Amino acid sequence: MTDRKETLALSIRAQEEKIKQLKTNNAESTEVDAEIAVLKGLKQELDALNGGKKKGKAGKNAFTLKTAKGTKDHNDKEMAIREKVFSTITKVFKKHGAVTIDTPVFELKEILAGKYGEDSKLIYDLADQGGEECSLRYDLTVPFARFLAMNGKEYQNFKRYHIAKVYRRDQPAMTKGRMREFYQCDFDIAGTYDSMIADSEILKILTEALDNLDVGQYTVKINHRKILDGIFEVCGVPEEKIRPISSAVDKLDKSPWEDVKKEMTEEKGLPEDVADKIGEYVKLKGGRDLLDKLKADEVLSKNASAAKGLEEMTTLFDYLDIFDITQKMSFDMSLARGLDYYTGIIYEAVTEKSAPPALADGEKPKPKSKKNDSDELDESTVGVGSIAAGGRYDNLVGMFSGVNKKGQPNLQIPCVGVSIGVERVFSILMSKQKAEDIKSNETEVYVISVGDGLLKERMEIANELWKNDIKASFMFKNKPKLDKQWSACEKEHIPFAVIIGRDELDKGEIRVKDMRSKDESQKGGVTVQRSNMVQELKDRLTQL
């Protein structure tokens, strides 16, 4: 390969990485397009040097060097952010007594069948290579319900979290960060308890997690399916239309009332006066004041479903007060949530960062896509919509346990849970810093030699540091250049260097340098007795 070709190949890789980063960070499309144009130019030049043709399948690269569509590698910098997010969230979960379980990445096809409505077409199947038919998991909730149904009563008191990848054969929208492989982060409490206690702890956990994640200001919208159903009933919605109308209401966060009303009346055949009555209710939001207002509503409070919901919400507010999180909640009658299986309270956390952009006067917002209607929380997208969501689902486990002669489930375990949109959290956190500023290793000390290599001496010192649980590295060269050692230490953001030279070693001395110090007098580090090295470093590291 000529030098120019090599340079071009490297530039193309760098340019591709740059474009990928821009897309991940939701850059303006004009900016992305400009960078793509640069990339094309580089590729054309390389093609020309290669004789004007790209290598085909039979060419010198026998295969395409890429990851599958909708998937990507996460490099060390991205993983450092991911691991920080996971450990922050996991710490909160564990503080509340949670344990984790692990389920296989694929399930029998029939376990997933019929659980996701028309989204079932997005399920990845494994090829038929003989034996059972299997599919990649689509979410973590169905495997959890399957686990509970299989493991019966021993898991009736169970706080479990599960952070793992799920798979959807969706059209990837990489610019929005929507992937075919992405992480979900679920926390659920399973078991039969007294009203709203577990529900309030879930909300407490959600607020603690978001507070610790540094994602900015957020609001947790809450509502109750039973209140919503009661409203639909008293307004005169026929039973079979309750779920479709509920799903229309769910669009109110993105669409104006006129559009939602049109969907109710024109698409779903609701009389206009019924829609208008609903409109009066669903525009309400507030806190305990709204609860009092609804309880004072003579029509609504006489509806059995609404009365039950209002009673539970009253209990919930009492508990939210004790947990000191009422101020983070917004009792929002327009929150309906897509998924059919919710049976009690529902909630959705929205951050400023993830809120839809404000609309200019007269600008028409895009309607929520059909897909989102039935999607619990579209964690496959980032930068838009909610950052966490969930609710109570008391009947899902029963779907897996089979029914007895009376037609009742053999085993019913009520559940309440929340899913944190970790892909969005990553995206928010990644956009806050430059990749090169992220320290992906945890190395604390770099062992540097001045003069003639001193490899064995550097190894001895590293070994002593490791023995004392200090994270240390050195350059894998017999005679490394000093500037190369400095720049490795800087590039890897290692806070301290131990500098050794022959003369000083003979005197039983080494030097310790704080790499972050701007103090010119400390440029060469400070001299430390070799025998005090470990203690000196430990003292400095505890001050970090």
Annotated binding site for L-histidine: 139-141, 168, 184, 188, 337, 341-342
Report d(CA 186, CA 379) in Å as an integer. 11
Q: Which residue from 58, 68, 358, 544 is in contact with a copy of itself, where contact means CB under 8 A?
A: 68
Which amino acid belongs to residue 149? Answer: A
Query: What residue numbers does the annotated binding site cover?
Result: 139-141, 168, 184, 188, 337, 341-342
100 binds a copy of itself (CB under 8 A): yes
**Identity of the residue, 181 or 514, whose beta carbon is nearer to a copy of itself in the bound complex:** 181
**Identity of the residue, 369 or 404, whose beta carbon is nearer to a copy of itself in the bound complex:** 404
Nearest distance from residue 507's CB to a copy of itself, in Å?
21
126 binds a copy of itself (CB under 8 A): yes
> Which H/E stretch holds residue 108?
strand 106-108
> Which H/E stretch holds residue 347?
strand 345-351
Q: Which residue from 69, 283, 302, 507 is in contact with a copy of itself, where contact means CB under 8 A?
A: 69
96 binds a copy of itself (CB under 8 A): yes
173 binds a copy of itself (CB under 8 A): no
**Identity of the residue, 107 or 376, whose beta carbon is nearer to a copy of itself in the bound complex:** 107
Question: Are the beta carbons of 105 and 183 closer than 8 angstroms?
Answer: no
Residue 198's nearest CA partner among 306, 309, 312 is: 312
- Decide: helix, strand or coil at residue 356: coil
Report d(CA 426, CA 184) in Å as an integer. 12
- Window 302 to 361, contacts with a copy of itself (CB under 8 A): 318-319, 322-324
**Identity of the residue, 471 or 516, whose beta carbon is nearer to a copy of itself in the bound complex:** 471
Report d(CA 182, CA 168) in Å as an integer. 9
118 binds a copy of itself (CB under 8 A): no
7 binds a copy of itself (CB under 8 A): no
Nearest distance from residue 263's CB to a copy of itself, in Å?
31
Beta strand 496-500 pairing with 509-514: antiparallel
**Identity of the residue, 201 or 348, whose beta carbon is nearer to a copy of itself in the bound complex:** 201
**Identity of the residue, 359 or 459, whose beta carbon is nearer to a copy of itself in the bound complex:** 459
- Window 223 to 262, contacts with a copy of itself (CB under 8 A): none
Please give the structure tokens belonging to residue 256. 């104006």
Of 54-62, 304-312, 500-508, 532-540: span binding a copy of itself (CB under 8 A): 54-62
> Which H/E stretch holds residue 424?
helix 422-431
Dihedrals phi, psi of 185, to nearest 5 degrees: -135, 100
- Window 460 to 519, contacts with a copy of itself (CB under 8 A): 460, 463, 466, 469-473, 476-478, 488, 492
Dihedrals phi, psi of 513, to nearest 5 degrees: -125, 130
Report d(CA 467, CA 25) in Å as an integer. 41
**Identity of the residue, 165 or 371, whose beta carbon is nearer to a copy of itself in the bound complex:** 165
- Window 427 to 466, contacts with a copy of itself (CB under 8 A): 440-443, 455-456, 459-460, 463, 466
Q: Which residue from 53, 56, 58, 128 is in contact with a copy of itself, where contact means CB under 8 A?
A: 128
98 binds a copy of itself (CB under 8 A): yes
- Window 392 to 421, contacts with a copy of itself (CB under 8 A): 400-405, 410
Of 96-104, 269-277, 366-374, 423-431: span binding a copy of itself (CB under 8 A): 96-104
> Which H/E stretch holds residue 219?
strand 218-224
Judged by phi (left if over 0) then psi (alpha if -120 to 50, else beta), residue 357 lies in beta
- Decide: helix, strand or coil at residue 447: strand
34 binds a copy of itself (CB under 8 A): no
Judged by phi (left if over 0) then psi (alpha if -120 to 50, else beta), residue 150 lies in alpha
- Window 189 to 218, contacts with a copy of itself (CB under 8 A): 189, 191, 193-194, 197-198, 200-201, 204, 208
Give the binding-site size for a copy of itself (rule: CB under 8 A).
111
Please give the structure tokens belonging to residue 305. 């479903």
Within 10 angstroms of residue 305's Cβ, the number of other Cβ atoms is 19
Q: Which residue shows structure tokens 């990845």?
A: 124
Question: Are the beta carbons of 126 and 185 closer than 8 angstroms?
Answer: no
